[in-house]
Amino acid sequence: MRLFTRGNDTQAMKKTVAQITLLLLLLAFCIMAVLLVRHVLQLPFGPTNDNLHKKGSAFTLDRFIPAGTYIDSSMTIQDVIAIRFKQETSLFKTAIRAIADLIPLRYRLILDLMQFLFWTFLWMTFFRVFTFMGYGRALRTSLLTGGIIYYYMPDLSPGKMDDALFLSIPILIILIRGYFFRKKKLQASRKEEVRINK
């Protein structure tokens, strides 16, 4: 019986180590990608775009130039992109609000729920394919990450009530799961102590 339990513990330990290693590799890749993007965004816009044109690159920075804006030689790629997307975001938000006013409230809430479930499904697929998470842990984590993505994405409901709802529900589920897990573990340890004392 002890050998069987020890074998299960070894398999669980190997699975945990493999999961942690994979997550660390994924974290390292994400950090390297963030550092690379940050370095590129700090490059001067004008000289970088001129060099791309001289080399005959298929990708240039012309599409990021905002209309009616003078680009100084000291402006970075990040500055120009921020001006461009600020203009586009304001137009996009105005269009979203105009469309949302035409949709009844209950249908807007259904569409918001579908959007939240869509992001949750994408994260669930990612965690199940690229990690060793079980279904329960992957579902809880994907609900939380789906809520975070939903918070930053535009939606059809005005205000922050829906954002707070889709963030608070996954956090509440995680807290309840953690409470019951600790309670179950504490009960198991007490039963083990009673068995040993007998």
Q: Is residue 124 part of a domain?
A: yes
- The span from the CA of 30 to the CA of 40, in Å, is 15
Give, rounded to a whole angstrom, the gap between the first and last alpha carbons of the chain: 19
**pLDDT band for position 3 (cuts 50, 70, 90):** very low
114/167 Cα distance (integer angstroms): 15
Tokens of 119: 């992001």
More confident call, 158 vs 91: 158
Provide, rounded to the nearest whole percent, the portion of the chain with pLDDT above 90. 10
Of the candidates 165, 148, 153, the residue with the CA atom closest to the CA atom of residue 96: 153
pLDDT at 103 over 90: no
Q: Pick the residue with more confidence: 148 or 60?
A: 148
Is 4 domain-assigned? no
* Residue 128 confidence (pLDDT) above 80: yes
Give CA 56 to chain center in angstroms: 36
Collapsing DSSP to helix, strand or coil, 164 comes out as helix
C-alpha of 156 from chain center: 20
**Structural domain harbouring 110:** 104-198
- Residue 75 belongs to some domain of the structure: no
Asked if 77 and 64 touch (Cβ cutoff 8 Å), the reply is yes
Residue 21 lies in a domain: no
Spatial separation of the C-alpha atoms in residues 123 and 47, rounded to whole Å: 39
DSSP 64: G
Q: Indicate the number of domains in the chain.
A: 1
pTM of the entire structure? 0.56
Task: Compute the distance between CA of residue 176 and CA of residue 47 in angstroms, rounded to an integer.
Answer: 55
